[in-house]
Chains A and B, each alone.
Chain A
Amino acid sequence: MTLDRRAFIGTTAAAAATLAAPMVRAQGRPRVVVVGGGCGGATAARYIAKDSEGAIDVTLIEPTRTYYTCFFSNLYIGGFQEMDDLGHGYGTLAADYGINVVHDWVTAVDRDAKSVTLASGGALPYDRLVVSPGIDFVEGSVPGWSVADQDAMPHAYKGGTQAELLKAQVMAMPEGGRYAMVAPPNPYRCPPGPYERVSMVAHALSQVNPTAKILIVDPKAKFSKQALFEEGWQKHYSGMIERIGPDFGGDKVEVDPAAMTVSIDGMVEKVDACNVIPAQKAGRIAHQAGLTEGNWAPVEPDSMRSKKDPNVWVLGDATSQGDMPKSGFSANSQAKVAAMAIRGELTGSAVFPARYSNTCWSLIATEDGVKVGASYEPTEEKIASVSSFISDTGEDAALRRQTYEESLGWYSGITSDMFG
């Protein structure tokens, strides 16, 4: 889905709608500005616009014209998806839902004046603001690495070019070479993500470079779907993958991007490709807007409303809300609760009790899919997990294939739920 004709027309319509906005405002429609066009922001914008049927003026601000999903980027690395198929435009949101799509950066939020400032110089006033900025990295969390080193040692933890770079580096490894991953500490985006990535790198290497080795350096004692991944690695990639946890120095790692070395508790290892996934925090604008406490933005569990400002909602990975993992599915689920609450305040529409859910699928090898999921409800204190399930070890091939096919269906479902 690159810039096709429909997307092009949509974006033009969006530009026209933005120009027309001041006149619309004079007619007194309440204004919602959404910052960030990912899983949280695109879903919130679409649901507010769709369900308010024009009663609310919705503006979505997103710097990129094509959004590449971070989810399924591991399948791209494994050779199961094309990057083009992971790209989504905003044309339908503009053309079919009447959303003002603005491709720009928000440089500042003035919560007293209820206005956001754009990099291009304009400012947009709002009645309610939705901030869904995703993640940024904690500088210095992996000694020796900074964002400036992301070309030598990619994080590939935001969609698009970083995943392409990492895949190219994996494919260029010398025969029998070594790939290293520095795994992140909790909490981080997509708990099974690093381990699905290892599975997909192993799959790619087993096709073209079967004597290559994979080293995981991990500060965590345990990780999501651990039994499932370790069973799968043993079954499909026996002898290829080694993981060093904190009991053997996995939490004392340092990298040298110029020398392409990883030091584990003082022991220096030469590697041929290195994926550094640093510690994470809420995206920049959440901090700039004063919505954070520590690394994350706290929200009310029954609505996703910011605890710092009753006119602001924060969604997705950037929030601290309780038990929900940081995932695209979670952000999409949270966005629907937020959209309902915002419409309720601005137009008096019905507000039902919040309910949230999440499911994460992971691919271990060809047609070997697994999943974990849970449902969540708000308590006074947090969004709490009330039930969960996980795939079993030892499931037969037919069930694993069905789980994989289900994940493809989910991808198609959630991306049309986000982008229309």
Chain B
Amino acid sequence: MSKQANPEYAAKDPENRLLWRVPYTRLSVEAIRDSILAVSGRLNPALYGPSMLPEIPAAALEGSSDPDKIWKASEEDEQSRRTVYVLLKRSMVVPMLEVLDLCDTARSAAKRMTTSVAPQALTLYNGGFVNKQARYFAWRLVNEAGRDPARQIERAFRLALARPPTDAERDALLQFLQEESLEQMARVIFNLNEFVYPD
């Protein structure tokens, strides 16, 4: 079976009730965050040790009963470890994890739910984490592909999507880079459907 569309089957069973294809599944938030770090080049692969506390927006702390003490972010190198090392605190779940469908941490869960709601888009497009990693990704592209935009785009697709861009995609990105920065292109790539729903 494959994830590719089969028009004949799609017409008969658009909801895939009979499982004629492998269902598309969004990456879990842990995998999304880890992938962003891996692609930006900042992933710290250190194993073991205590949990780390990623930076969270100050605004998120206002809802807690003890905003000054409840969350002291770790050093950035620690924060760049895999998401499995994020401290899970019942009274203060990291907003990025919570928004992107982390399960209820207070009880067992048979499965993760996948939702597609606007606060997730706000987190991934406007949030501090993604925008910071987009900057690192842009630096990486310059380091590894030099100053030629076409080579930067090629490298970006290889790193983020594990495939070369199509001609149409390359053209769209080249046009974008005429007006916007590499960092902004990196930000868009982290938000692509294909990035979180890999083939």
User: A and B bound?
Assistant: no
> Interface residues, chain A, CB within 8 Å of chain B?
none
> Interface residues, chain B, CB within 8 Å of chain A?
none
